[in-house]
Structure 1
């Protein structure tokens, strides 16, 4: 596989940025990615969703006083907004000239998991997502402080139920286990005392805030330090711990390059991350520029986002409804804003189960034949909405129309596959025979059959 295409897939979601990487060089491409701008305006899809506490209380009162049918419609409307928010995010991923920010936002989204299914307030979920986007390349400690104090997070991990007279340990536990240190690098006492420090951190107007009548002001011992610690001080203490850099470097290596990164690499980059005081931009720069020259193709199974957006880019699909795309991702186990649990998507081999592989092959057939990847969009558990089920897509595959069968096969191999062998070559030369005429009528269909065959191979599922 062409190295620039490989890294376009890794630093984005398709081969779309490969020419920019080749022309700019990796370092300049990264600089432009880090400097990329993003829209800070609240999207219009949230216009009718409650944003302030006052609006939220009014909506709850409306639901409480409504008849059952009206309640169902009100809840369905918010489910619909959540679906539109998925489409909004997917459009950003597809349209951005330098999509690394959205790729990192998705990484943090799966690290600091927070689902609409549990939170149920779209504006809070959007705020959480926007904090991730704004701080995607910033400082890990700063991001941790900000994200722990979002309304979405204190709702998702039940800190709204954590009060001085009734301690709830959920947020305290996941802060250590999943967000910062990892299992084995803290004690149960640290969890219990941390929960006391987080007691009373509750819903606020724009972010979570401590409620004095719910706070626990006991002196606690946290990782050997004694004091009346609250969220920010607790996170400062966590970031003094020896194990702090390694969980995140392991997850970054898994997200971008290796399904099974070596412990040596995890430690090497983790030590550097501590050295740069947990700044994300220099860490990413070091990882990407040092791993780029290595022969690392074939080290990672494509996640559903990369798989489907690469296909769309190769086939030059422009009008695919993003709601259909979001539903396809849900079928593949990568439901945006709704991970299966607080651990998020596991990735790796789970992206290539027999069911996922079958769905991918079905999607390949549909797209190559100019048809939508799904015939229905699920808007809620009880509502299936037909969405242009007979719409034909305009698809076109670019290939060298002055080439021979072997040069065309080689061209597609270079774009699509990290590895081929003699058996695959024979299969493809059976599809595109030695006397293939690129000028003949039906030549596009023949090359499309070849392309469809290639993207169904196990080798195409891996980068």
Structure 2
């Protein structure tokens, strides 16, 4: 695979940025990605969702007073809003000139998990997502402080139930186990004591706030330090621990480049991260520029977003049905805003089970034949047809009309496959034969058949 294409896929969701990387160089491309502006406007689909704690309490009152039918309709509207938020986010991923911010936002989204199913207030989930976006390239410690004090997080990890004399340890545990240090770098007593420091941190207007009546202000020992600590001080203490940088550098390497990063790489980049005082931008620059020079293609299985958005881009699908993309990636195990648990999506081999591989091949068949992604059964198919009467897609591959069969095969291989061998080449030449002539009728169809075959190979599933 062409190296610029490979890194366009790794730093985004398609080959769309390959030419920009080739033209400006990777470092300049990263600088431009880091400089992208953030739209802070609240999307229209959140217009009628509760945005303040008072509005939330008012909605709860209405729900309690409502008939079963009315309550069902109110909850249905919030579910529809959640679906609209998925579409909004996927659209951002597809249209951004420099999609690295959205890819990094998605990384943090799977690190600091907070799902709609548990939070149930779309505006809080949106706020959570915006904090991740705004701080995507910022400081890890600062981001941790902000996200732990978001309404979505205290609701998701039950800290609204954490109060003096009735402690809930969920947020305290995940702060250490999943968000910062990782198992083996703290004690169970640290978790119990951390819950004391977090007691009373509950829902507020714009972010979580402490309520004095529920606080526990007795001194405790936390990671070797004694005092009466609250959330910011607790995070400061966590970031003084020797193993703080390695959990996150391992996860960043796994998200972007290696399903199984070597431990020496994790340590090497982790030590640099600590030296940079946990600033994310210099860490990403170092990782990407140094790994760019290595021969490491094929080291990571594409996640469902990378797979589906690359296909859409390669086929030049105009105005793709983003609702169907959201449903497809959910079926592939990557439901945005609704990870299966607090650990998030596993990634790696879980992205390519036999069932997922079959779903991907079916999706390739549909798209290559100008059909939209389907919802899988006749009832849903009919529903989607009503929603989308212009279901036939206009698809068009880019390929060299002057090339012979081997040149066209090489061109597509460079864009799509991390490697090819003699057997692959023979298979490709069986589809696009030696006497291929681009000027004859049906030549476009022949190249599309080749493309369809290539994207069904194991080599296409990897970057």
TM-score by length of 1: 0.98
> 1:313: how far off?
0.5
Match of 1:340 in 2: 340
How do 1:155-170 and structure 2 match up within 5 A?
155-170=155-170
Residue 40 of structure 2 corresponds to residue 36 of structure 1: no
In the alignment, the residues of structure 1 paired with residue 297 and residue 82 of structure 2 have an alpha-carbon distance, to the nearest angstrom, of 36
**Residues 5 and 17, structure 2, Cα contact 8 Å, conserved in 1:** yes
SS of match in other structure, 1:22: helix
**Residues 114 and 125, structure 1, Cα contact 8 Å, conserved in 2:** yes
Match of 2:430 in 1: 430
Please give the per-residue CA displacement for 1:186-233, whole angstroms capped at 9, x wherever unaligned: 000100000000000000000000000000001010011110000000
In the alignment, the residues of structure 2 paired with residue 445 and residue 10 of structure 1 have an alpha-carbon distance, to the nearest angstrom, of 29
Where structure 2 has 5 or more consecutive residues not aligned to the other structure, the ranges are none
Please give the per-residue CA displacement for 1:406-454, whole angstroms capped at 9, x wherever unaligned: 1111110011001111111111111111111101111100000000000
Match of 1:395 in 2: 395
Match of 2:65 in 1: 65
Count residues with an aligned counterpart: 459
In the alignment, the residues of structure 2 paired with residue 25 and residue 235 of structure 1 have an alpha-carbon distance, to the nearest angstrom, of 37
Match of 1:245 in 2: 245
Match of 2:331 in 1: 331
How do 1:60-459 and structure 2 match up within 5 A?
60-375=60-375, 387-388=387-388, 391-459=391-459
Where structure 1 has 5 or more consecutive residues not aligned to the other structure, the ranges are none
In the alignment, the residues of structure 2 paired with residue 456 and residue 398 of structure 1 have an alpha-carbon distance, to the nearest angstrom, of 18
> 1:387: how far off?
3.3
SS of match in other structure, 1:180: coil
**Residues 432 and 446, structure 1, Cα contact 8 Å, conserved in 2:** yes
SS of match in other structure, 1:396: coil
SS of match in other structure, 2:226: strand
In the alignment, the residues of structure 1 paired with residue 386 and residue 304 of structure 2 have an alpha-carbon distance, to the nearest angstrom, of 23
In the alignment, the residues of structure 2 paired with residue 300 and residue 449 of structure 1 have an alpha-carbon distance, to the nearest angstrom, of 26
How do 1:15-26 and structure 2 match up within 5 A?
15-26=15-26
**Residues 200 and 214, structure 1, Cα contact 8 Å, conserved in 2:** yes
SS of match in other structure, 1:136: coil
> 1:57: how far off?
1.5
In the alignment, the residues of structure 2 paired with residue 164 and residue 385 of structure 1 have an alpha-carbon distance, to the nearest angstrom, of 55
> 1:54: how far off?
1.8
TM-score by length of 2: 0.98
SS of match in other structure, 1:14: coil
